[in-house]
A and B are shown apart, each in its own frame.
Chain A
Amino acid sequence: MSAFATASQPLIGAEGLTVNRPGTSEPVLRDVDFRIDPGEIVTVVGPNGSGKSSLIRALLGHMALAGGKVARRPSLRIGYVPQRVQIDTAIPMTVRRFLSLPRRVPDAAAAAALQRTGVPGLERRQLSQLSGGQFQRVLLARALLCEPHLLVLDEPTQGLDQPGIVAFYRLLEEVRRETGAAVLMVSHDLLVVMRSSDRVICLNGHVCCQGSPEDVSAAPEYRALFGTEGQDMLALYRHRHDHDHDQTGACLPGHGHDHGRDHHNHTPLRVQG
């Protein structure tokens, strides 16, 4: 794995990626360039219908390309965490059985994966009886079983409350630290994204802007897309501990042309504990 991590080739790279809405010739994504390197946490944000999930699917090879190319490193192991809402609970299934689907794993490996994601001893519980947070952790445990080089998560915190979201992203950072796996995720949780990503890609049919969380949240394209919500997040992100400003960001200027003023004084906030 260390040889894997030091090579300069990206884990997944894409050039000129174009994807059509299934069954049509109408593009959901146009001309997207993308790369993710070993150990990186990259988050894709964007409004509904902006092609976030299509990007993930195309990168994973689950969707036909209408143009461009995707290169995955040979023998790249990917741990995938789908949207929780799409798991069908009509099937009676224990956590233990789920971890062995479709590849059977030994009991010890299953127990270790659950331990690592903070839900030890859940083996005999039914999937339908898990809380939202537990379910996410079980999905993550399952993704870790193949010892992935890359974790791919599609809106992993949907349906979690704020403390649950924060705890889940902290767990992701821990996993990245322990395993060195890169993380690619789609998220709506702007605040937490800003806190825990190395790089943010803002998507709306094409790449609007990308870069460090700070750069992206200052970009006019990002502000145009996320409007006041984005600015509130930006305010929280920068000023959580700054008593001169209102936490809602109300005292930030509405148009964002003088945001540069704050840039020099604040480093990105990392919440501890």
Chain B
Amino acid sequence: MLDDFFTRALLAGLGLSLVVGPLGSFVVWRRMAYFGDSTAHAAILGVALALAFDVSIYAGTLAVAVVMACTVSALVSRGQAMDTMLGVLSHSALAFGVVAISFVPGARSDLSGYLFGDILAVGRGDLLLIWTGALLVLGLLCLRWQRLVASSLNEELAMAAGIDPRVERMILALALAVVVALAIRVVGSLLISAMLIVPAAAARGLTRSPEWMAALAAAIAALSVTGGLYASLHVDTPAGPSIVSAAAVAFVLSQALRRG
């Protein structure tokens, strides 16, 4: 079954959906959209470094994403003017990444694969990594769920209950870095934050509790992966952008359902 490239692509996308639902919900709740962007864009720089030093793409993107996530969350806790700062970081990381890749011999032709994903080229090894990583992050989120939700709702309330919101913030930043590294082959650096935000935003209007929102976001992400991949197969559209387009359609539908 895993011999079929399409099946592997589908499984990779579904593995990712499992974790982008809950994590994306936190991104929406905490208004971290730009945060996700800058971490994801930094991943391109990680790809360049990985190619230059001949290490795994996953290791390179993970390392750079972790550094970026820590930098950004340090800035957040110091209360800098976040909007501008994140905009600067996010786009600089992307620009430097693309410039750096152009120096790596032979990598220039693969650039669009890193920017928009190359899910149809996912191999068995990728599949194993994606599922392991997704399950680990999901496990971590479940384990700390009450604390994470409490500190997202109000940090002072969380502190009064003995929770250190800085720890929870750091955990989310690291989880984000891991998911960015996992997602780079599936939807690419430019569309990772779309996979985090769009399904969660679609689920937001249809649910009444944080748990249901996270679960529905994961389901919508899974549907988008499936729909996008089939569209890509039959209409011959690029896979990553097709998946995000499907998610966007789901978002529009959810808005209509909410009104109705």
Contacts and interface: CB of A to CB of B under 8 A. Distances in A.
Interface of A: 22-23, 57, 60, 62, 78, 80, 82, 86-88, 90-94, 97-98, 101-104, 126, 152, 154
A94 B79 contact: no
Given A22-B79, A92-B204, A92-B210, 11 more contacts: A62-B156, A62-B160, A82-B160, A86-B156, A87-B157, A91-B149, A91-B153, A93-B153, A97-B209, A97-B210, A126-B208
Contacts of B59: none
Contact of A93 (B28, B31, B163, B209): B209
Instruction: Name the interface size band of chain B.
Output: 20 to 34
Contact of B210 (A23, A57, A60, A93): A93
A154 B213 CA distance: 30
Contacts of B209: 92-94, 97
A146 to B, nearest CB: 9
Closest 9 CB pairs of A and B: A80-B160, A102-B150, A82-B156, A102-B146, A62-B159, A91-B29, A101-B150, A102-B161, A90-B29
B259 interface: no
Interface of B: 28-31, 78-79, 146-147, 149-150, 152-154, 156-161, 163, 204, 207-210, 212-213
A125 to B, nearest CB: 10
B149 A80 contact: no
A186 to B, nearest CB: 12
Contacts of B208: 92-94, 126
A89 to B, nearest CB: 9
B157 A82 contact: yes
A86 B79 contact: no
Contacts of A104: 146
Contacts of B29: 88, 90-91
A86 B154 CA distance: 7
A91 B210 contact: yes
Contacts of A22: 79
A126 B210 CA distance: 11
Nearest to B156: A82
A93 B208 CA distance: 6
A88 B150 CA distance: 10
Nearest to A126: B208
Nearest to B148: A102
A82 B165 CA distance: 15
B153 A101 contact: yes
B79 A60 contact: no
A102 B158 contact: yes
A102 to B, nearest CB: 4
Contacts of B163: 102
A interface secondary structure, majority: loop
Contact of B154 (A23, A87, A152): A87
A157 B152 CA distance: 23
A103 B163 CA distance: 11
Nearest to A124: B208
B156 A91 contact: no
A181 B79 CA distance: 35
B147 A102 contact: yes
A80 B156 contact: yes
A127 B207 CA distance: 13
A82 B161 CA distance: 12
Contact of A23 (B78, B157, B161, B212): B78
A90 B31 contact: yes
A60 B160 contact: yes
B137 to A, nearest CB: 20
A103 B78 contact: no
A92 B154 contact: no
Interface centre among B152, B163, B209, B213 (most CB of A within 10 A): B209
Given A88-B29, A91-B149, A78 B210 contact: no
Contacts of B153: 87-88, 91, 93, 98, 101
Nearest to A104: B146
B214 to A, nearest CB: 10
Contacts of B212: 92
A80 B31 contact: no
A207 B56 CA distance: 61
A92 B149 CA distance: 11
B79 A23 contact: yes
Contacts of B150: 101-102
B146 A101 contact: yes
B36 to A, nearest CB: 15
A90 B157 contact: no
20 contacts: A22-B79, A23-B78, A80-B157, A86-B156, A88-B29, A88-B153, A88-B154, A90-B28, A90-B29, A90-B204, A92-B210, A92-B212, A94-B209, A97-B209, A98-B153, A101-B150, A101-B157, A102-B158, A103-B161, A154-B156
A94 B209 CA distance: 6
